[in-house]
């Protein structure tokens, strides 16, 4: 497992565009949005969170695109199969590394921008926590979509994973509201942690089944 995590970190950092790209897209969208509207007409801090949520959704999808495709195309999946006989550890390692290297920075960027747009400073940590947890969920969902569609293109990935991602977005929206209205934060965080742990344990199992089917 440590071997896999180390090699995934090494590979992701070497592919700068895969790692830095989503972060830059996120920053671009969050800067572009206020520039594209008449801010005297709109109360920006009321719906800026929605922009952050949608940006997180988009950039998570972009970040995880081709997650398993490269290993499938160059034969690394087969080599991994010979070592471990399934892909549970590989899927777990990949998702963990992607969340850690891309998901957490995305959450940090989102939290910083929300702070810059009227969220109180003491809510910064709450926003960061919520965005990190939702990235954990989203990356699991998109990793699944990627494992199903592997090299068949983004459209199939979207169709496969978006229906699972949207309930996560609904949950994220509800959790943001608990910060805005100061009520129910702990219970929603507990829910997200619970779902996050469950998904993190189960999704690699399902991804492994899908990948095994692909190399069969």
Partner 1 sequence: MKLLSAQNITHSINDAKLFYNLSFDINSAEALHIRGGNGSGKSTLLRIILGITTPSKGLVELIKPDLKISYLGHKNAVKSYLTPLENLELLFHDAELKHAFKWLDQFGLTNVQDELTANLSFGQQKKLALIRVMAQSSELIVLDEPFVGLDQATADQLKNFLAEKLSEGVGLILTSHIDPMIECIELDLGV
Partner 2 sequence: MISAFIHKFSSPKSYVRLTEKLYPFFIVLGVSLLTLGWIWGLLFAPQDAVQGNSYRIIFLHVPSVIFAELIYFFMAICALMHLVWRVKLAAYLIKAAAPIGAMITFLGLFSGSIWGIPTWGTWWQWDARITSTLILFIMYLGVITLHGSFSNLIKADRLMSILVIIGVINIPIIKKSVDWWSTLHQPASISISGGSSIDPSMLYPLLISIIGLGFTLISLGILSSRSYIFTREKNKKWIAEHV
In the set 75, 153, 163, 167, which binds partner 1 (CB under 8 A)?
Answer: 75
SS3 197: helix
Q: Which of partner 1, partner 2, none does residue 155 bind to, with CB < 5 to 8 Å depending on kind?
A: partner 2
Q: Which of partner 1, partner 2, none does residue 74 bind to, with CB < 5 to 8 Å depending on kind?
A: partner 1
CB of 26 to partner 2, least distance (A): 25
Question: Does 201 interact with partner 2 (rule: CB under 8 A)?
Answer: no
CA dist., res. 132 & res. 104, Å (int)? 5
Tokens 């920006």 correspond to 44
The answer to whether 77 and 215 have CB atoms below 8 angstroms apart is yes
Give the count of beta carbons closer than 10 Å to the beta carbon of residue 188.
20
CA dist., res. 196 & res. 198, Å (int)? 5
In the set 31, 37, 46, 73, which binds partner 1 (CB under 8 A)?
Answer: 73
Question: Which of positions 9-68 make contact with partner 2 (CB under 8 A)?
Answer: none
Give the count of beta carbons closer than 10 Å to the beta carbon of residue 214.
15
Closest among 209, 6, 195, 194 to 100, alpha carbons compared: 6
Question: Does 15 interact with partner 1 (rule: CB under 8 A)?
Answer: yes
Give the count of beta carbons closer than 10 Å to the beta carbon of residue 159.
12
Question: Which of positions 106-165 make contact with partner 2 (CB under 8 A)?
Answer: 144, 148-149, 152, 155-156, 159-160, 162-164
Q: Which helix (H) or strand (E) holds 215?
A: helix 185-215
Question: Does 43 interact with partner 1 (rule: CB under 8 A)?
Answer: no
Q: Which is nearer to partner 1, 2 or 155 (CB)?
A: 2
In the set 51, 102, 172, 210, which binds partner 2 (CB under 8 A)?
Answer: 210
| Helix 185-215 vs helix 76-84: crossing angle, to nearest 10 | 100
Note the residues at the interface with partner 1 (CB under 8 A). Answer: 7, 10-11, 14-15, 70, 73-76, 78-79, 81-82, 85, 215-216
Interface with partner 2 by CB under 8 A: which residues?
Answer: 144, 148-149, 152, 155-156, 159-160, 162-164, 166-167, 170, 174, 206, 209-210, 213-214, 216
């Amino acid at each position: 497992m440590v071997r896999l995590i180390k090699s995934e970190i090494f590979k992701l950092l070497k592919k700068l565009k895969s790692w830095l790209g989503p972060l830059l897209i996120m920053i671009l969208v969050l800067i572009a949005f206020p520039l594209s509207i008449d801010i005297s007409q709109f109360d920006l801090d009321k719906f800026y969170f929605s922009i952050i949520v949608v940006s997180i959704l988009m950039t998570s999808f972009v970040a995880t695109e081709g997650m398993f495709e490269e290993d499938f195309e160059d034969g690394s999946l087969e080599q991994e199969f010979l070592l471990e006989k399934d892909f549970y550890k590989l899927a777990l390692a990949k998702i963990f590394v992607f969340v850690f290297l891309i998901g957490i920075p995305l959450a940090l960027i989102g939290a910083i921008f929300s702070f810059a747009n009227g969220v109180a400073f003491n809510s910064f940590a709450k926003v960061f926590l919520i965005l990190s947890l939702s990235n954990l969920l989203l990356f699991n969902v998109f990793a699944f979509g990627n494992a199903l569609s592997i090299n068949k293109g983004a459209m199939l990935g979207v169709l496969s994973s978006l229906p699972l991602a949207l309930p996560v977005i609904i949950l994220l929206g509800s959790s943001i509201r608990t910060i805005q209205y100061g009520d129910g934060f702990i219970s929603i965080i507990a829910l997200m942690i619970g779902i996050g742990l469950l998904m993190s344990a189960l999704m690699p199992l399902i991804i492994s089944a899908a990948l095994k089917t692909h190399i069969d």
